[in-house]
Structure 1
Amino acid sequence: MKITQAEPKDSKEINYLFEAAKRQMQRTHVEQWTKSYPNESIILSDITRRQLYKLSEDQKIVAVATLNEQGNGDFVLRRVATDPSYLSNGYASILLNDIINRIKERKGKYIYSSTNHSNLKMQRFFKKHGFEKISEYTETEREHLGSFYKYLKKI
């Protein structure tokens, strides 16, 4: 198992992982992402900015997450996804713990994230890892998906 920053050559594999995750969300009635979000352009932007992390197992990318530094010790975790074939193996937890350690190294204070009201699995994931729900809002261009919950974890 290896956690590294994603590279441009990984974009197609990560896009495939996101597409598989979207199909899994659709099957389980999670209104998190849309047909056009996230997409390969967003993936390439995250990679170019060196914000996208990947967890690989046997040369296959099985989990990803984007980490944005906001300044003042604040970080935002976005687009956390696990290949549906690898769900419930703890890969997202391993990746999150690695990201939290990277934030600590950078003297980070807080990590924020959000998820849709219908994504109960992600809500449980956040609570399991010490995040607290701090607000509810609608996402621009995804208003039709209903409420999103914002989470915070103090580092």
Structure 2
Amino acid sequence: MFEKYTLTKADHIYSSSIWHILKQAIKKRKLEGSKQWQDGYPNENIIKNDIENGYGYVCLNEKKEIVAYIALIFDIEPAYENIEGKWLSSPETPYAVIHRLAVSQENPVKGLATWIMQEIEKFCKEKDIYSIKVDTNYDNIGMLRVFEKLDYTYCGEVYFRGGARKAFEKILA
């Protein structure tokens, strides 16, 4: 089903489309009663920084329209250094971080977030990175389902902007 989709590095020409999708996700989280992403994060500056640092990726459909966004970071995530719990990998193990996965709500595609996460796993292996760390709000049922489906392990809690987030890790084979 996803053979016509591609995941590619974001460029500044995509900024307004990315921001449009993130605003949809912010609104969706609010309608679900969540406080996640209701504090001015993410924002357009975050997108700009993601793109400038090479973190931003867009998912394009067969018409080359942006249908999702994700940040894939191969740097240390400072908030992950102070986990209340324990990561699966040792502190020296290189890892990738996933942030800001958002799927367009205009024509949502069932399973797209899962497919994107699987593609990210391939990108990581190509870079010889075999650990992926990610977090989400305790009430983000959609992401929690994706993590469960893809065999991510709950490792504890990390804190962003004063709020606790559930932290997960997956060791890639």
Settle same-fold status: TM greater than 0.5: yes
Q: 2:150 aligns with which of 101, 108, 129?
A: 129
Which residue pairs with 1:150 in the alignment? 167
Which residue pairs with 1:14 in the alignment? 18
**Mapped contact 1:76–1:112 kept (Cα < 8 A):** yes
Which residue pairs with 1:66 in the alignment? 71
Aligned length: 151
Rg (Cα) greater in structure: 2
What amino acid maps onto 1:25 in structure 2? R
Give the TM-score normalised by structure 1: 0.90
Give the TM-score normalised by structure 2: 0.81
Measured after TM superposition, the shift of residue 89 of structure 1 is 1.9
Distance (Å, rounded) in 1 between the aligned partners of 2:29 and 2:8: 26
* Cα deviations by residue, 1:75-130 (Å, 9 ceiling, x for unpaired): 11000110122335222122111111010011112100000111122111111111
Distance (Å, rounded) in 1 between the aligned partners of 2:143 and 2:27: 16
**Mapped contact 1:55–1:91 kept (Cα < 8 A):** no
Which residue pairs with 2:86 in the alignment? none
* Cα deviations by residue, 1:13-68 (Å, 9 ceiling, x for unpaired): 10111001111111111322124110111101101111111111122211111011
Secondary structure in structure 2 of the residue aligned to 1:26: helix
Q: Which runs of 5+ in 2 are unaligned?
A: 77-92
What amino acid maps onto 1:27 in structure 2? L
Q: 2:125 aligns with which of 98, 104, 107?
A: 104
- The within-5 A match list for 1:36-115 is 36-57=40-61, 58-70=63-75, 72-115=93-136
Secondary structure in structure 1 of the residue aligned to 2:106: helix
Runs of 4+ in 1 over 4 A off after TM superposition: none
* Structure with higher strand content: 1
Q: Which shifted more, 95-104 or 129-138? A: 129-138
Distance (Å, rounded) in 1 between the aligned partners of 2:95 and 2:139: 26
Distance (Å, rounded) in 1 between the aligned partners of 2:127 and 2:55: 14
Distance (Å, rounded) in 2 between the aligned partners of 1:35 and 1:83: 20
Question: Measured at CA, do residues 78 and 31 of structure 1 come closer, stay the same or move farther in structure 2, by a change above 3 Å?
Answer: same
Secondary structure in structure 2 of the residue aligned to 1:84: coil
